[in-house]
Amino acid sequence: MKNVAILGSTGSVGKSTLEVIKQNKDKFCIELLTAHTNYELMIEQYNEFSPRYIYLEDPSAQKSFIDRVGSINKETALLTSENELNNVLSSDATEIVVAAMVGVAGLKPVYQAVKHKKKVLLANKESYVVAGEILNNLSQESGSTIFPIDSEHSAVHQCLQGVKDQKSVSRIILTGSGGPFLNREISDFENITPKEAISHPVWNMGDKISVDSSTMMNKCLEIIEARWLFQTKNIDVLIHPEGIIHSLVEFTDNSMLAQLSVPDMKIPIAYGLGYPSKIHSGSSSINFEEISSLTLKKPDLQKFPALNLAKSCIDIGGTSFAILNAANEECVAAFLAGKITYLDIYQIVSKVLDNSTINDVKELNDIFEADERSRSTTKELINKI
Ligand code: MG
């Protein structure tokens, strides 16, 4: 039995992880579940999975949890501080850490888990985007392994199994569904509402990542994520609206390998949890009778200019990733709150990136400082609108 900690268990990836674990009760048990505020769902998860530890970040959610549950059973302890959380993440009892929380706020616990040699299943792409170099160096020192819980990166990881020589890989091609506005006229982009932006045609995900998918900022972050995970800058993107081919790898002989499945996060989660074995995911298999064709085409960079930002940041390096990510997180939140328009998101993010000083990254604090500066510059620009 392997002990699993799920950071962000009440979110979309957290819930899917618990579903995969339910299919494999003989292999995994729950060490820790954490959430920000959703104590109601945490009560359900507590009753069903009896974790050894629970952590609710928000103090009023902690209180509501205790009020509702009454006395907590003897097998479970409720953690009340970040310190206690770090102790559980560092302890030998925890073997696998699933980082499924949203945003760069996840970086500190991810750092702890990597430092203490855990197998880290990383759905929190923001942490890796901003601190890829630090986390890679740390995992080399500690012997931790970082697994992508992103369908594209999981696909690339699978295509690279059996490749003995890194030099035989010529490029990685990430696919993207194109999001809800693939076929919308660019002249109509200014009228896009938050409700339209969070209705993804293929994937059922949280609000932040759904907006990122619609602007293709998600693909931009994924290019950076792939750069850190697979140590290459040769990364292209193709639009694949059917969401069946999750990514491809091209080799020096011009042959390609691709990974296919229905679009269901349970598959990359099961791959990470079970690796190197394949385990049950609880997902369905592809029904080729229902799929009339599989299409792949180049993205429209005029409609989705956010894709260009990946290459600029990879060329610049340093704190540019943190600045990009923080500006985007603030803009998406402002768009969802009705403070800025859809087109303002890219305008503001690229302006913040152009006007910021980029520094080298030597330690986590360099990232947090850049993150904070970028957020305040972004908020100033948002308030001017
Ligand atoms: Mg993805």
109-138: per-residue pLDDT in tens? 999 999 999 999 999 888 999 999 999 999
2-148: CATH, from 3.30.70.270, 3.40.50.720, 3.40.630.30, 3.40.30.10:
3.40.50.720
CATH of domain 317-385: 1.10.1740.10
Distance 101 CA to ligand 1 centre (A): 15
Q: How distant is the alpha carbon of residue 293 from its chain centre?
A: 29
CA 52/CA 5 separation, integer angstroms: 10
- Return the number of other C-beta atoms located less than 10 Å from residue 188's C-beta: 9
Q: Which of 19, 15, 11 is nearest to 36 (CA)?
A: 11
- Which DSSP symbol is given to 277? S
Distance 257 CA to ligand 1 centre (A): 18
Distance 176 CA to ligand 1 centre (A): 8
Distance 210 CA to ligand 1 centre (A): 10
Distance 144 CA to ligand 1 centre (A): 23
CA 123/CA 33 separation, integer angstroms: 15
Distance 211 CA to ligand 1 centre (A): 13
Distance 68 CA to ligand 1 centre (A): 36
Distance 177 CA to ligand 1 centre (A): 10
Distance 218 CA to ligand 1 centre (A): 7
Distance 61 CA to ligand 1 centre (A): 30
Distance 152 CA to ligand 1 centre (A): 5
CA 62/CA 64 separation, integer angstroms: 6
Distance 160 CA to ligand 1 centre (A): 18
Q: Which of 253, 223, 254, 246 is nearest to 236 (CA)?
A: 223
Q: Are strands 77-79 and 53-56 parallel, antiparallel or unpaired?
A: parallel
pLDDT in tens, the chain (385 residues): 999 999 999 999 999 999 999 999 999 999 999 999 999 999 999 999 999 999 999 999 999 999 998 777 778 999 999 999 999 999 999 999 999 988 787 899 999 999 999 999 999 888 999 999 999 999 999 999 999 899 999 999 999 999 999 999 999 999 999 999 999 999 999 999 999 999 877 777 788 989 999 999 999 999 999 999 999 999 999 999 999 999 999 999 999 999 999 999 999 999 999 999 999 999 999 999 999 899 999 999 999 999 999 999 999 999 999 999 999 999 999 999 999 999 999 999 999 999 999 999 999 999 999 999 999 999 999 999 8
CA 198/CA 215 separation, integer angstroms: 11
In degrees and rounded to multiples of 5, residue 244 shows phi and psi of -105, -40
Distance 212 CA to ligand 1 centre (A): 10
- Structure confidence by residue, pLDDT tens digits, 306-353: 999 999 999 999 999 999 999 999 999 999 999 999 999 999 999 999
Residue extents of the structural domains in the chain: 2-148, 317-385
